[in-house]
């Protein structure tokens, strides 16, 4: 059992991708070599499946605002992290920005993250601007709630950070 606070799940649940997340990973327009950003991706189940499809030239960064969640990713995706195909960072979508010298991402996705699925509109607006700034021009953001995904419009920044 991997258990801490609200993040409580069996190792089995993380190792085996659920049908829900498998359908989402299948629906992403992935190809080898892409740089992918997942928002709110703890404990890393979908990210590990994505990393498999990106091959050695690609990379997925998973951000999550929960330090516990990030620790779980680091533990459960240790092999992918060691191979350099996956990394994890503790930051909220609303505060996220590329680090100095960090390449932009080709696409982003988020599953069951309140700021991006319409549950928290104000946080969502800030988060979408942050994500847009971290993507290559025209890079898409996909969220759940479609069939199974929908693409979200990314508006231009309207405020200084
Ligand atoms: C309901 S869980 C979903 C986890 C995973 N995406 C899935 O579908 O199994 C939501 C996750 O998103 C993270 N999260 C929620 N709001 C966030 C935000 N604004 N920025 C970054 N992470 C966030 C939470 O810490 C949690 O790990």
Q: What pLDDT is recorded for position 155? A: 76
Distance 119 CA to ligand 1 centre (A): 13
Would you say the CB of residue 116 lies under 6 angstroms from ligand 1? Answer: no
Q: What pLDDT is recorded for position 34? A: 98
Residue-by-residue pLDDT tens, the chain, 161 positions: 444 445 445 555 456 799 999 999 999 999 999 999 999 999 999 999 999 999 889 999 999 999 999 999 999 999 999 999 999 999 999 999 999 999 999 999 999 999 999 899 999 999 999 999 999 999 999 999 999 999 999 977 655 44
Strand, helix or coil at 133?
helix
Element (H, E) at 9: strand 7-9
Would you say the CB of residue 72 lies under 6 angstroms from ligand 1? Answer: no
Would you say the CB of residue 40 lies under 6 angstroms from ligand 1? Answer: yes
Q: What pLDDT is recorded for position 12? A: 53
Q: What pLDDT is recorded for position 146? A: 96
Q: How many CB atoms lie within 10 A of CB 74?
A: 17
Q: What is the dihedral of CA 49, 105, 58, 112, to 10 degrees?
A: 0
Distance 144 CA to ligand 1 centre (A): 12
**Which structure tokens are listed for 148?**
């199974």
Homologous superfamily of 2-152: Vaccinia Virus protein VP39 (3.40.50.150)
Strand, helix or coil at 141?
strand
Element (H, E) at 122: helix 121-134
Strand, helix or coil at 91?
coil
Residue nearest to atom 7 of ligand 1 (CA): 111
Q: What pLDDT is recorded for position 115? A: 96
The pTM assigned to this predicted structure is: 0.91
Query: For residue 152, which of 109, 121, 113 has the smallest C-alpha distance?
Result: 109
Tokens 């533990």 map to which residue?
75
Query: Maximum Cα–Cα distance for the chain, whole Å?
Result: 44
Would you say the CB of residue 124 lies under 6 angstroms from ligand 1? Answer: no
Would you say the CB of residue 111 lies under 6 angstroms from ligand 1? Answer: yes
Q: How many CB atoms lie within 10 A of CB 153?
A: 8
Q: What pLDDT is recorded for position 157? A: 65
Q: What pLDDT is recorded for position 4? A: 46
Looking only at the bridges linking them, the beta strands covering 86-90 and 59-64 are parallel
Q: What pLDDT is recorded for position 142? A: 98
**Closest atom, ligand 1, to C-alpha of 45:** 9
Cα–Cα distance measured from residue 124 to residue 115, given in angstroms and rounded to the nearest whole number = 4
* Alpha-helical regions (H) of 64-120: 67-76, 78-83
């Amino acid at each position: 059992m991997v258990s801490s606070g609200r993040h409580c799940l069996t190792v089995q649940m993380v190792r085996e991708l659920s049908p829900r997340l498998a359908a989402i990973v299948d629906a992403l327009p992935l190809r080898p070599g892409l740089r992918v950003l997942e928002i709110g991706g703890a404990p890393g189940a979908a990210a590990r499946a994505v990393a498999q499809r990106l091959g050695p030239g690609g990379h997925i960064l998973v951000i999550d605002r929960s330090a516990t969640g990030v620790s779980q990713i680091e533990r459960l995706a240790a092999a992918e992290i060691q191979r350099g195909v996956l990394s994890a960072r503790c930051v909220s979508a609303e505060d996220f920005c590329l680090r100095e010298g960090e390449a932009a991402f080709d696409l982003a996705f988020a599953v069951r993250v309140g700021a991006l699925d319409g549950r928290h509109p104000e946080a969502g607006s800030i988060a979408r601007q942050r994500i847009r700034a971290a993507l290559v021009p025209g890079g898409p953001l996909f969220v759940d709630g479609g069939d199974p995904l929908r693409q979200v419009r990314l508006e231009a920044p309207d405020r200084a950070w």
